[in-house]
Amino acid sequence: MHYDFIHWRGHTIRIKEIGRGKPLLLVNGLGGHTDMWAPLAERLTSRRIISFDAPGTGRSSTPPLPVSIAELADLAAAVLDYHNVISADVVGYSYGGAVAQQLAYQHPSRIRRLVLAATTFGIGSTPGCYRAMSVLATPFRYYSETYFERTADTAYGGRVGRNPEIRQRMIVARRRHPPSSYGYAMQVLGGASWSSWHFLDQIQHKTLVVSGDDDPLIPVANAKMLAQRIPQATLQIIERGGHLMLWDDARNLGRLIREFINAPEKGSHAGSVHASGHEVSAGH
């Protein structure tokens, strides 16, 4: 495991590298930091995993102004440059899914295969339920154990909403490097006017779109639309999966992602990626 800091466009960015093998870039969600990837990273041990704290999160510096999704895509490319990686498989989760889509559009040669988990195409997407969205309005869930416990089911659904033990493990990880209120606000504003709708049909990478049918924040309709618009996309719907499925169901999702990114090039995307016990839908 190796931590470092890079200087990028006036920001100080914390980066993390763990493991050996073919490179895999993980792009986190709103307010998330690199150490939160541990449950999923443990299921992807054959990979060289690279991640970073976006400006305003983790141990990266807080930006004075919002950093746009397009700029974050440039940052992701710069992180790959720092690690001398020409092309990597990329997993973008939630807000990080927006960054991953933008990276695929702006820097298509930097991505080999793309995984979009619990994410949307931005403006025009089907909104989540109001109570869940209101929880995301502030980073308070990163600070208060009581608040996270009280809102987990409403905001995230899935196993974290049903299992108190999983919630306790997540609380510890979240409180380790919580985002500042200002940094969190800058991240929210940075994505407020973003949409990938106009370029989704230009993403030519083999793409796995993953959605949980118990996600109050990101309804399945958004994943279906992404899979329909991206030419080489496969849609995987996780039964009873919530917004935090990469963490609270890391064993299943880790296997699913491994099968997708490790599949042979020829014929690897001819059909759906199968996950035992879960509903599978195919894109086109």
* CATH code of the domain in which 113 resides: 3.40.50.1820
Answer yes or no: is 219 within a domain. yes
Round to whole Å and give the CA distance between 227 and 246.
19
Does some domain include residue 165? no
> Is a pLDDT exceeding 70 seen at residue 41?
yes
Inform me whether the pLDDT recorded for 270 exceeds 70: no
% residues pLDDT > 90 (the chain):
86
Question: What does the pLDDT read at residue 169?
Answer: 87
User: Tens digits of per-residue pLDDT, 3-21?
Assistant: 999 999 999 999 999 999 9
d(CA 9, CA 264): 38
Q: Starting from the edge strand earliest in sequence, which strands make up the sheet with 233-238, in order?
A: 2-8, 11-18, 47-52, 22-27, 88-93, 111-117, 206-212, 233-238
User: For residues 148 and 178, what is the distance between their CA atoms, to the nearest angstrom?
Assistant: 13
In a domain, 36, yes or no: yes
Name the active-site residue from 51, 94, 196, 211.
94
Residue 229 lies in a domain: yes
Q: Is residue 158 part of a domain?
A: no
CA distance to 19, 113, 117, 199, per residue, from 204 (Å): 28, 10, 18, 10
Instruction: Count up the domains in the chain and report the number.
Output: 1
Residue 83 scores a pLDDT above 70 = yes
Instruction: Establish if 201 belongs to a structural domain.
Output: yes
pLDDT at 265 (0 to 100): 83
272 catalytic, yes or no? Answer: no
At residue 152, the pLDDT reads: 92
| Parent domain of 30 | 2-126+180-262
Report yes or no on 278 lying in a domain. Answer: no
Mean pLDDT of the chain: 92
**70 lies in a domain?**
yes
What is the Cα–Cα distance from 207 to 191, expressed in whole angstroms? 22
pLDDT surpassing 60 at residue 276: no
Instruction: Give pLDDT, residue 174.
Output: 84
